[in-house]
Amino acid sequence: MGGRITTDLIRGHTDTIILNILRQGDSYGYEIYKTIIALSGQQYELKEATLYSAFRRLEHDDLIASYWGDESQGGRRKYYRITEKGRENYEQNRKDWRFAKDILDKLIEGGLENVEK
Amino acid sequence: MGGRITTDLIRGHTDTIILNILRQGDSYGYEIYKTIIALSGQQYELKEATLYSAFRRLEHDDLIASYWGDESQGGRRKYYRITEKGRENYEQNRKDWRFAKDILDKLIEGGLENVEK
DNA sequence: CCCATCTACATTGACAGACATAGTAATATG
DNA sequence: CATATTACTATGTCTGTCAATGTAGATGGG
């Protein structure tokens, strides 16, 4: 059996997760919500409240931009598009994640044998 | 060039980090503080305020226990010892970390090609 | 011997992100 | 026509981290 993903394990990664999806094409709230579940192999659900507050934060910081879709054939959809600044931010976040992963491995599983105290 | 470890990337891992150190032997606040810096290769500093509030939380939850060291030769030191419950908690947290790491890799770096939308 | 630095522990208040909860409204389905 | 699904939003709460601050003994260089 595997483990669980708690709130704090995901914290700080939501922006990066959203940017990763948007850098591969424009999308809207509900679709992004579903995509995250699919990407995680049904193992993680980012709550809608979290998602939409992240959209506001990202838009405020000019990492994404939004526009209303064509509403002629049905319900309104607000689409999000990643900005150039957002792409740069994503690249940095990815580096940060790889870096943090290595450090966390040492901190969580590392032995103290070769660490001077 | 690497990345940076922000507050949110470490959030939720401090308890596990402390338990990893204590499962390898009793220690006290300041030594644990130094050990974390050393374990991370000087890349990460867990602030003392964070550390001491974590001690309270862990002790309250019976994951660690504390005792005052021998004060005859100098300054007082409060030592911490991991409990059996703490060891079990550590093992679960380690599993959670490995699990979360895989999911996060998919969410942060994963492509949408093979994901049904 | 004095002052700075290090060791060692601790508290308080502020902040930010995630989420529970609730609500609105349109479309689709049986 | 009732229910589920799609789609977006607001409000308030909780928790962990950290900045700032404080106490006090030990240590070492000038």
Q: Which pLDDT tens digits describe chain B residue by residue (117 residues)?
A: 567 888 888 899 999 999 999 999 999 999 999 999 999 999 999 999 999 999 999 999 999 999 998 766 666 899 999 999 999 999 999 999 999 999 999 999 988 987 765
DSSP A73: T
- Is B115 part of any domain? no
Q: Is the pLDDT of residue A117 over 70?
A: no
- Is B20 part of any domain? yes
Task: Supply the range of the domain harboring residue B97.
Answer: 7-109
- Is B103 part of any domain? yes
Output the pLDDT for position B4: 84
- Is B51 part of any domain? yes
Instruction: Please tell me chain A's helix, strand, coil percentages from 3-state DSSP, rounded to the nearest 5.
Output: 55, 10, 35
| List of A residues 46-65 with CB within 7 A of strand D | 48-49, 52-53, 55-56
DSSP B88: H
The total domain count for chain A is: 1
Spatial contact of A18 and A54, defined as CB atoms under 8 Å apart: yes
- Is B74 part of any domain? yes
- Is B81 part of any domain? yes
Q: Which two tokens stand for residue A55?
A: 């959209």
Protein B69 CA to nucleic acid C6 C1', in Å?
19
Phi, psi of A82 (to 5 degrees): -80, 145
Q: Is the pLDDT of residue A3 over 90?
A: no
Chain D bases near protein Cβ (<7 Å): 6-12, 16-21, 24-27
- Is B21 part of any domain? yes
Residue matched to tokens 């995509």: A35
Protein B84 CA to nucleic acid D25 C1', in Å?
34
Of the candidates A9, A108, A115, the beta carbon closest to that of B35 is on: A115
Output the pLDDT for position B69: 87
Q: Is the CB of A30 under 7 A from strand D?
A: yes
Spatial contact of B96 and A9, defined as CB atoms under 8 Å apart: yes
Q: CB A95 to CB B8 under 8 A? A: no
CATH of the domain at A15: 1.10.10.10
Spatial contact of B117 and A31, defined as CB atoms under 8 Å apart: yes
Spatial contact of A96 and B9, defined as CB atoms under 8 Å apart: yes
- Is A1 part of any domain? no
Spatial contact of A5 and B100, defined as CB atoms under 8 Å apart: yes
| Consecutive H or E run containing A66 | strand A64-68
What pLDDT digit, counting tens, does each position of A19-51 carry?
999 999 999 999 999 999 999 999 999 999 999
Q: CB A7 to CB B12 under 8 A? A: yes
